[in-house]
Structure 1
Amino acid sequence: MKEAKKEYYKIEILNYLMNKEVVSTSQLAEAVGMSEKSIRNKIYEINEFLKENDMGIIQKKPRVGIWLECNDEQKERIQAILINKNATFNRDEDSNRMDEVLKIFFKLRPWETVTTQKLANELYLSSPTILKVIRECEKWLLNYNVSIVNEKNKGYRLDCNENEYRIAMKNFLMKDFNVEKIKSNIDYFFYNIDTKLIQKAIIETENEWNYRFTDESFYEIFIYCCIAYQRKDIQSPVVKDENEIMILQKYNEYPFTVAIFKKLQDKFHILFSNEEVFFLATQMMCSKFIGISAVDEMVEQVSKYDNRLIDFVDMSLRIVGSILDVDLSKDEKLKESLIFHLRPTIFRIRHGFSHTNSLSNFIKTEYKNVFRATMSISILFEEYYGLQLTEDEVGYIVLYIQSAIERMHKHFKVVLIVDSNRAQAQLISERINKSIREIESIKIMSTHDFKLYGDSEGDIVVATTQLDIKDPRIIVIPNLLSESGIVSLREKMTSLFYNKQTKERFFSPECYPLLDLDLLFVEQEFNTREEVLRFMAQSMVDHGYVTKHFIDTVMERENATTTCIGNNISVTHGAQSEVIESKVSIAVLKKPIPWNDEEEVDMVFLLGFKMASPDEIKRIQLFYKEYISIIEKEENIEKIKSMKTNIDLYKFLIQ
């Protein structure tokens, strides 16, 4: 209501100026019913709108007055806006303009086009502004591999395949996920369809199958069904992979989709193609629409029809467990969770829907060792599925593995050294217990008692001040009542856990074949990510370790996902198919270079790994384990960066 009132006053002001030659601010304020200060603010907003859309300008001259300066063509366009009840003068309406243009594009059939002039007339905008909005639309559509092409003497149209069109349109209709707006969009695009009948078919199937969708999932299926009906005589979705269809048919999503389309066919007395069923079932797989309550039912399905996924999960747990020195293979809950997660993940990545993970940066920092170990299975994923496992997807897997590790190691006994009053000691104890679930018990002692009697049962000794005692269990954190103090305690506990049974070591003899003096580079200077990677890859090509196409697969991975792992380090790799002999190249840069929009890198590991035999797999597992033990320590990173020759670096790595 407030916004409508603002627009009303702007229209009244512009109407008044259209009918007067020159007026004063006081005359205008009296005519519209506003204060002179408010009039001046509104004049500014209207003037910016007019200038931006090439509709003239409001001139102001002291002691003379205010007047509207425009030609006849501009005056006609202003008049059209004044007649339009939905007119708006807000300058921050770029998003709304983009939405209006996208609506027009999505309503076009594949062979139809729209001209700049027609868009300008429909939206009451100038041609330059329309061109600017089209560029904004192009950016939005690029996320779905949809482009806007301009056909000479015809106009603009969307260029994409049918699958891309439908996914983009569905996401456009559900933009910002506002139910009322979604309903309005459905009414706008499918006004010629009995959408209530489609809705009824989905709800009936949902009830018969005893599934309960979230609102978001329901509307996604609803929109896809509306699109299928509307475009049944225009174009069918594309079915790409027969093997994928064979697997898809074994899962619950497929018969559920068949049931929906069967109801639609009965209600509308029409036939839908098999491609429509496969497309919607695939979207369900990608988005995990159906929440199967019995996980064991889903795992049983996978065990029967998708042995490759079972094998991949088993192999992944062996690899990551070996690197972290923990046995993950016996954790059935972890195995089931990964199967449940990876089943739709494979479909998502294959169809370009890889999910973003807002926790990625936190995961890389908080669980960096698990993250680095889990990155090792990305090569295995490419081998099994021919797909890039992105950093965001790795992050989700890390959370499952970290949870499993915490289940295995959740019994830390803590000795808390506090010399303040008992009440404060108890407060600190409760704060730690509440914040860190891995702690089983806390024993409170004074410095005097600890020095006198000691304690042999505690795994960790936490003190608020430095103690003149040599004990590797001691952690000193002055501010245990603060959030930063708890974070510091958790970090040191994690470090203690990973290092308490791990002796100081670098690469063992089994890994030496992966190292080559000629692939180690120190004090290098590069300006871009591509420069350093091409230099390293070319060195591997020159020595016959990889094919000349290896660099293309490296850059493809870099463009697909970030390879930064923290501490200004990047670890990347190319496709196994382009590797002749497994090798590692390392480059240490004199100064950091931008690696992505947020991170810089001054140390690069380029991996050319081929896992064609059990011995090679074991060697690469061992490499990951030992490489993590090296770079997890700041002093090791600093030593590597201080090396003056490749020989120094080689000697350091094999000491």
Structure 2
Amino acid sequence: MLNNRTIAILRELLIVDSAITSEYLANVIQVTSRTIRNDMKELETLLSKYGASIKSIRGAGYKLKIDDDKRFRKFLLEEFQSEKLKPSILPNSPEERVHYLMKRLLLTENFLKLEDLADELFISKSTVQNDLKDVKKILQTYDLSFDVKPNYGLKVKGEEVKLRFCMSEYVFDRIQTEYDLHSSQKSLIPIDEMKMIRAIILEQIKENKITLSDIGLNNLIIHIAIACKRIIDGNYVILNNEELKDVTNQKEYGVANKIVREIENRMKVVFPETEIAYVAIHLLGTRMIRHLNNKSGDIQNYIDKDIYRLTMEILDSIETKLTLGLKDDQELIVAIGLHLKPAISRYRYGMNLRNPMIDEIKSNYPIAFEAGIIAAMVLKKELEIDIDENEVGYLALHIGAAIERRAIHTEPKRCMIVCASGVGSARLLSYKLQSKFGAKLEIVGTTEYYKLNEVPFDSLDFIVSTIPIKESLPVPVIVVNTFLGGNDFEKVEKVLEERKHGTLEYTKKELVFLQEKFETKEEVLYFLGEKLEKLGLVDSTFIDAVFEREALSPTSFGNLVAIPHPITQKTDSTFWAICTLQKPIEWSGKRVQFICLLSIEKNSSTYLQKMYALLVKIVEDIQIVQQLLKCKTYDEFLELF
């Protein structure tokens, strides 16, 4: 039975008439010549049973000889059409083929013909041409392009550093475990050498008190592995003198130099100075400070004034647009300030920081991710920096942590006591309530019934009264006994636990559209935009602002849910327009069937975190979404909500 590597060897032998060397095969398949020679023995033994053999020709290499055409064809058919093997050998979707082609093109120094690629993938030449259009788009994001040579085929061309970044993204899986960097048949260097690189890095960063995240460490291992491979091939990173001077002046350059010298000694490869600077950029780009004291007085000891100003501008913008109440969170100020400096450094040097958690962040912290998008807009405005959604995702993690912290330290509910039997009774009632509910409840004072018109209701959550109150008040009234008996405590408990806002505050019958038959996200958004415009809730610029936000980063969050919204506040009220579909549609790479078009009122001063929490609860709960998708009438929908 063939394995992935022997299949690759056999494929190469099949597509040439002449002999090919073990060095050539070693380069194509990314293994050593010795491994190829061992594989050839295994392949020769196997093929001898199926009417074929491999001839070794001195000075020329290996050539496939087919003696029994019928037996050999039957063998090939069984191998390549096996349902067990086929999925692991041949990519069978456009996305998988594009990924395969990216790897194939990035790992070869030779020109590749379309016909050969079509044969490898068992597809037509026109299908390969279509797939290569997508490959070209991906390459363009790294400033790479195709070098096309008539009669020879094509290969990737561009700056070495850009090739390196692209390889780190597509040669390896997006997330690597500690030692899981050698799993691909196209691995760059042996697993033992990967482990050695890791050990050298850990030793040096520990000695020099530099902290790397797990992801940062794996990124650095990958990039050094790629550097070793490409230095051996004679390819170097080029940094200009000014960039080089900036890096060599940093502490991290000295650490990078030690890491590189150790790798040179162990692997017998010579790194030029620019390559050392390249490693230093990785250490700069993941710099963190340990044992940080988060008191506000210490913040500017760790963050320079320009970064501090930028951080505060970001938090002001987030507060203006989302009113999350995080502007004065000292821990968040420090976290974002420390994150921004290396993020700006990464952008300056064109580095791609991969974020393997991006889908989970968007799914679990949609509001925090939205705050990250707002941060990206501030960076664009202030520094003309375009950060991608990977970086936005890391910012969102810091913001999500701050949201969680705020939820833990929720402010107590505020009440006032109305008591008809005098100050003594009112105080007794106050002490009993405070003793029972502690930090959950803040009693702001007591008052007589006749002074109710003087009560500041806008600062209260409810009233506790020992007498019935007939007037309609803007807050709930709980009538209790002066000495708190029966179910009085339960009544207060219920008010303390219940949400201040409910779902029905944000949506109405005329904003709910069930079981629609749309096939694209554009159809859905134009439909909802038109309905909202007819109701007078939005103007003609609203839907364009929604598409502008989608272009920054898709709002499909997983679990069949999308929460589109305009890039800036466009309406005078906060509302949800909901649309469910009979069948899921494709929405920027994810399946979507439940759409909640969200609009936040302009210049909102209302604390909206409860509304966001409610929205996230719906988005995250698979059962709720499934039930909502089954609803055929507004009454069913209403009952579920």
TM-score, length-scaled by structure 2? 0.50
